[in-house]
Structure 1
Amino acid sequence: MVHSADLYNHYHRIWKQLGSGTYTVIVGNVHEDPQSLCRFYQAHGIDAIPVEVARQQGRHFSHLVSNHPFSAGDPNILQELGDYNIRMMYALGKAQWNFADWNKLYDLILCFGPFQAERLAYCENTLKLEVGYPRFDGFFNGEFDKATVLREFACIPDRQTIVWLPTWGELASIRQYGQAISALTDEYNVVVKLHPLLDESDPGAAAFLRQLPFTAVIDTPIDNVMCYVAADYLLCDYGGPMFGGIYVDKSILLLDLPGAVNDPLVGTASADAELRAVLPHVSTPDTQIIRRTLHNATLWEEQRRIRAQLRKIFFAPYYGFSSKVVADILQNIEHITKSLHLSEI
């Protein structure tokens, strides 16, 4: 079950491993028009139907995969449509959301690695399996050529490239840091990729950024792996992008916002807040402070060692074949569940 076009970029490599005709994508009705969304997925050769059509037709699935239980609004729809519900984790960070009590609705959760599995230990009746980060398989498999991506982003080839990946909602750093970061274009390519839900919380954000001298402002759905291929440095505030940077070993500078730990999606025990103890971060939208940090070669060399340690905490080591790991689990799910039942006898 999906609720946005952007989830295609999260999961299409898994679907390719499964093979066409072996699955159906149910389209939720939360953020985008389900009919338009269905046409988007069908244009990619995917069997897709709106959730309301599936309900009207009495469709039922032995196994139903979703990234959270609100893709169709009412979480009870998961139980209505699926016998065995599987959560495919899609991000790290924002702990009060990602590790909320509704995870207990799932029979199986496919986690990126040890950290998520441990944080979900309270779901005592839910199986947790570690699968890595499927959306990034293309990064390790040479799916994107860096020179080609830089041209698509209108970058100057002989400059280093900064990619800024702000979140959405109250924790988006766009308004606070936009001018300071855009001033770095005198030395760097600076590309901004907006969160797919940003337009709901700040409809004028893209227009605000386009008034500033960024190399590129991207507000349409693309495969974010391209951003990581292009980046020499990542600028992130809160949510998932910093963890992608850890996974693919990119230099990461975090942008602080006051009161972030009080956000209802984050909290004091959220990893995106806690990482500020070990990753470089700035609390002031000052171009020269950011520039000096980017110029600090000693800092970035030390950060490589820290990121290597963090990868072991957050991710199972299936770099480049995580999608196959997930597909293998889904294709053998009945054997897995049967073996669990046998072990309980």
Structure 2
Amino acid sequence: MSFNMTNKTRCIGFLMETSFHYDVYINIITALINKDIPCDIIINDLIETEYVNNMVNFLGTVNVPGLRFMLLSTVLKHQKVYSCLVTPYYLSYAEKIARIHVRTVYGLAKNEWNHAAWNTKYDYILCYSHYTAKALDLATRVKVVGNPRFDDWHNKTYAQELPSHIALTPTKPTLLYAPTYGELSSLPHWAEKLGRLSNEYTIICKLHHATLCRKEEQHNLKAARRYLKNIVTDNTSTFALLECADYVISDNSGFIFDAVNAQKRVILLRWDKMDDLLTENKSFSTHESPEQQIRKILPDARDMADLRYFLSADYPWHKKAPDLDVIRTEYCDAFNDGNAGLRAAEIIDEATSG
């Protein structure tokens, strides 16, 4: 990995605050590089050290010809101005480093944050599908392109290998557990209970990057490590994990929609007083947020008896299919054709070609 300054006329910056953002960007970046448009990944090195170290270590494994890497502190120091800056959300200190700002939506959860007023700061917003476009209601600024990250799923270009420490057992169904972080995480309420299923199921826990990096998440991380054996801490194998999963278990995470889009059987978890967190701005989620509304469709487990029923052969999954087909098209990806990154790149190309 090399860190360079560049003074070329047109260059697109992609601001990264977690390693996950690389997955959000890479198919857009690849399409732009194929158009001979230079791209820089800009690492925000002004945030917590744990996040910065994680990004730098991850990017050290990346080798994409033509892709360059920058530190945000260097960009600010040298007052570099990009033709366009692509970000997943608004950051005030990044306003002056580009002439055009594009947001690429990277999830569907937590309406209060995802559709907040700061979206008006963008020149263009790239959306998965019509739900987000209608909710933002920003006329010509909103562009429906599909989900660029899911291009790898549709084109089968994702890493097929599971992490080396994950061993599947053919005689056991595989449960992929993907909890969110913070107060809306099911980890402190469900980790021990899920651990009891390990004799009957292979349980893989895909942790949220915030659970790994934030100091206030230590209690959740401790619960995961105490009760769950197969913990995955990076995003490189996400699609391989989805491929092998017989069921996906989650809580209030945007990963719910990844699993639905991958046509997996998804079970949600809840606990006493969880609903209290959805009122009076106690969290970024509300009862109207997609990750809460989808509980009307997906099985919603309050206890182990519920969970065992949802995992049994008696549960009528076929009855969910029509509603979930609508979710895939209207929420997850309007196209699901593997060309979302190209559509996004074409919008950025056109916006910066003048």
State the TM-score, normalized to the length of structure 1. 0.86
Aligned-residue offset at 1:165: 0.5
Gaps of at least 5 residues in structure 1 are: 339-345
The answer as to whether partners of 1:38 and 1:50 remain within 8 angstroms in 2 is no
- For the residues of structure 1 that align with 2:226 and 2:95, how far apart are their CA atoms? 47
Change (3 A) 1:206 1:155: farther
Residue 299 (structure 1) aligns with: 316
Aligned-residue offset at 1:208: 2.4
Aligned-residue offset at 1:331: 2.5
Residue 342 (structure 1) aligns with: none
- For the residues of structure 2 that align with 1:102 and 1:145, how far apart are their CA atoms? 35
Change (3 A) 1:207 1:252: same
Q: Select which of 334, 337, 341 maps to 1:316.
A: 334
Counterpart residue identity of residue 309, structure 1: V
Aligned-residue offset at 1:275: 1.0
Residue 92 (structure 1) aligns with: 108
Residue 190 (structure 1) aligns with: 203
Change (3 A) 1:39 1:198: closer
Percent identity of equivalent pairs = 22
Counterpart residue identity of residue 320, structure 2: Q
User: In the alignment, is residue 25 of structure 1 matched against residue 46 of structure 2?
Assistant: no
Structure 1 stretch displaced more, 126-135 or 35-44: 35-44
Change (3 A) 1:260 1:245: farther
User: In the alignment, is residue 264 of structure 1 matched against residue 279 of structure 2?
Assistant: no
Residue 174 (structure 1) aligns with: 187
Gaps of at least 5 residues in structure 2 are: 1-14
User: In the alignment, is residue 55 of structure 1 matched against residue 66 of structure 2?
Assistant: no
- For the residues of structure 2 that align with 1:236 and 1:42, how far apart are their CA atoms? 31
2:209 partner SS: coil
Tell me the C-alpha RMSD between the 2 structures: 2.4
> Could you give the per-residue CA deviations for residues 20-50 of structure 1, whole angstroms, max 9, x where no partner exists?
8711112212244657745643652431111
> Could you give the per-residue CA deviations for residues 259-278 of structure 1, whole angstroms, max 9, x where no partner exists?
24123211222111111111
> Could you give the per-residue CA deviations for residues 148-188 of structure 1, whole angstroms, max 9, x where no partner exists?
43875212133221101000011010010111112222221
- For the residues of structure 1 that align with 2:167 and 2:94, how far apart are their CA atoms? 43
2:190 partner SS: helix
> Could you give the per-residue CA deviations for residues 112-134 of structure 1, whole angstroms, max 9, x where no partner exists?
1000001100x35x611111111
1:156 partner SS: coil
Q: Select which of 263, 266, 269 maps to 1:255.
A: 269
- For the residues of structure 1 that align with 2:183 and 2:79, how far apart are their CA atoms? 40
> Could you give the per-residue CA deviations for residues 226-259 of structure 1, whole angstroms, max 9, x where no partner exists?
3212211111111311111121111111112422
The answer as to whether partners of 1:233 and 1:251 remain within 8 angstroms in 2 is yes
Residue 244 (structure 1) aligns with: 258
Aligned residues: 325
The answer as to whether partners of 1:150 and 1:230 remain within 8 angstroms in 2 is no
- For the residues of structure 1 that align with 2:121 and 2:42, how far apart are their CA atoms? 18
1:211 partner SS: helix
> Could you give the per-residue CA deviations for residues 53-100 of structure 1, whole angstroms, max 9, x where no partner exists?
111112001211100113xxxx1x332111111000011111111111
Structure 1 stretch displaced more, 179-188 or 16-25: 16-25
Residue 243 (structure 2) aligns with: 229
The answer as to whether partners of 2:163 and 2:237 remain within 8 angstroms in 1 is no
Residue 155 (structure 1) aligns with: 168
